[in-house]
Amino acid sequence: MILLTGTGGFIGKHLVKFITNQYPHFELVALTNSKLKDVHCISHDNYVYDVSNFPDTIVNRIEVVVHLGAFIPKSRMESNDIVKCNGNIRSTESLMKLDFPSLKKVIFISSIDVYDNTNKVIDENTATLPSTLYGWSKLYCEKMVQSRCDALNIESAILRLGHVYGPGEEYYQKLMPVTMKTILAGQSPIVFGDGSDLRSFIYVGDVARIITAAIENPIDDNIINIVHHESYTILEIVQKIIAISKKNISIHFKAGSSLKRNLRFDNSRLRKELCPSLTNIDEGLNFEWQHISENE
């Protein structure tokens, strides 16, 4: 039996759908106040979890915990929201205090925001030095999970998520959904500076497959970056979206920061242990464009 948090979020919805469709033999329990088809749902009080809310028939059979639920900033300003970022620590602490007699593994979904602000290629050995409270909250939660699992002598896996895109991302003020919505409104998408900063994106469907693979398989290395090995400039991404839209529209360039950051990753550990192939950026952008254009 697998316990999930964060099933109502962007990634969580895709994960539940993927598991229930592709792995119907997995029995899922979700810490949520919503109702989900084919999932045992356990309510919580503002992300504070209590084992007394679990029937004995469930609490004694949980073998894997996937902690995906967390505050994720929807904009840059939210990255340093004290109350919301501290909420990540409180909810993780509450979850780690639960006693599941059959527990064998905890999978914690972290973030690449824990890394130092560098233009070098990032891998799992890159120094951790978050630049935001959100990044610090995720790093502290990593340490809590590892400490708890070490004390219980069970497996832990830290999956550090990169920039995830795909259907459902439109609730965030991020490059792809903002650009798509702007084009659909008949306006010119904005690129700050010359758009030469490199970014790496991973498709949400791939993330669901990777988390499921981490549930199924032992992981040799405790920490794995869930990222794509290909990077594109911001300008290239915007140009790709314009091409997909088939609209005759120009880009509006605005003055931006002189400080550039290129995000590039070595994801050889991911491809070796969990997912040898990933969705092509053009295919993923087409999926997201179709979804947003149908729902605008």
Domains and CATH numbers, the chain: 2-163+203-226 (3.40.50.720)
Give how far the C-alpha of residue 145 lies from the chain's centroid of Cα atoms, to the nearest Å.
Answer: 17
Calpha distance 290→296 (Å, rounded): 10
**HSE toward the beta carbon, residue 120, CA cutoff 13 A:** 9
Contacts of 102 (CB under 8 A, 6+ apart): 60, 61, 62, 63
Residue 127: per-residue pLDDT:
95
Residue 122: per-residue pLDDT:
96
> pLDDT tens for residues 55-87?
989 999 999 999 999 998 877 789 999 999 999
Whole-angstrom CA distances from 278 to 7, 219, 266, 270 are: 23, 19, 14, 10
Which residues of the chain are modeled with pLDDT < 70?
A: 258
Question: Can you give the pTM of this predicted structure?
Answer: 0.94
Residue 186: per-residue pLDDT:
94
> pLDDT tens for residues 166-207?
999 988 889 999 999 999 999 999 999 999 999 999 999 999
Residue in this structure with the two tokens 């962007």, named with its chain if needed: 10
Residue 51: per-residue pLDDT:
87
At residue 109, the 3 state secondary structure works out as strand
Residue 77: per-residue pLDDT:
83
